[in-house]
């Protein structure tokens, strides 16, 4: 059976781990050729090898999404290696939390740059290609749809104490999505958004210790206290966190032909939390 994304080319940021990894594997399993981005080279290469071992096609693009020239290089890699670009998933991100009176400008800027500025730059870099191919297809009487899926959060749809930077960035992603859907509709580009609730990743694992990961030279706290997790479970109608694979499934729905007449929308993937 031919996959729903056979012949398509996808680029996915933050695809070396967690949700991004699950997205890259899912898209590849349906026939897409994938450019796998991650901040670190090793996890990006591992995902590429997983895809290739399963019979798919992928190349790595290890680089920080906030580095100068990232967006242009990311798009160029898809065009140079695979000759096309059909799907963009702006997934990469992390949290660096604090209450407003304790949050530094560095914390604010880092999260806004990662979650809002970097996706904007990727979309801007892709626009010339989308414009060129859509014009050629229109002239030939063809209607070909391309897909953008931006990632938001229930923190962006309803706010979250201690996350003014992250909530602001993720709310901005929704506004960006709605705007790009209006600008790019004429080019047959569907631009949609998935807002995640509690998804199990390395950033949300239960811990009572002060665990951190290094993000571009910054030690950023990861993990969630078990008491907070228990409270979150009481607020989720389905009674549990989502898996990375379930999160990837919600993104996948916006990448397939069945969503060709859906654009400018935000889908909440949260087990019912934040969605009613």
From CA 201, how far away is CA 275, in angstroms rounded? Answer: 21
Q: How far is residue 114's CA from residue 112's CA, in Å, rounded to a whole number?
A: 6
Does 166 participate in catalysis according to the annotation? Answer: yes
| β-bridge pairing 218-222 and 211-215 | antiparallel
* Alpha carbon distance 15, 266 (integer Å): 21
Q: What is the DSSP string of 44-67?
A: HHHHHHHHHHTT--EEEEE--TTS
Alpha helices in 41-192 (DSSP H): 41-53, 70-82, 105-112, 118-139, 154-158, 164-184
> Among residues 94, 166, 252, 261, which one is catalytic?
166
Active site residues: 166
């Amino acid at each position: 059976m031919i996959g729903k994304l056979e012949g398509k080319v996808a680029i996915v940021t933050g695809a070396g781990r967690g949700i991004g990894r699950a997205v890259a594997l899912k898209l590849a399993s349906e026939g897409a050729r994938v450019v796998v981005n991650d901040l670190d080279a090793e996890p990006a290469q591992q995902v590429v090898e997983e895809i290739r071992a399963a019979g798919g096609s992928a190349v790595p693009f290890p680089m920080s999404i906030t580095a100068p020239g990232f967006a242009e290089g990311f798009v160029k890699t898809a065009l140079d290696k695979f000759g096309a670009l059909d799907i963009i998933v702006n997934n990469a991100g992390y949290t660096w939390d604090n209450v407003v009176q304790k949050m530094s400008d560095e914390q604010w800027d880092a999260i806004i740059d990662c979650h809002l500025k970097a996706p904007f730059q990727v979309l801007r870099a892709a626009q010339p290609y989308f414009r060129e191919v859509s014009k050629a297809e229109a002239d030939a009487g063809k209607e070909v749809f391309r897909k953008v899926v931006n990632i938001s959060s229930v923190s962006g749809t309803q706010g979250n104490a201690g996350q003014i930077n992250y909530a602001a960035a993720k709310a901005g992603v929704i506004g960006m999505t709605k705007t790009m859907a209006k600008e790019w509709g004429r080019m047959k580009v569907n631009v949609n958004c998935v807002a995640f609730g509690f998804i199990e990743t390395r950033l949300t694992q239960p811990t009572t210790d002060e665990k951190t990961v290094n993000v571009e030279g910054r030690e950023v706290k990861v993990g969630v206290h078990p008491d907070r997790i228990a409270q979150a479970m009481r607020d989720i109608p389905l009674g549990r966190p989502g898996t990375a694979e379930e999160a990837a499934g919600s993104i996948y729905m916006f990448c397939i032909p069945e969503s060709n007449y859906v654009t400018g929308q935000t889908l909440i993937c949260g087990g019912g939390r934040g969605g009613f």
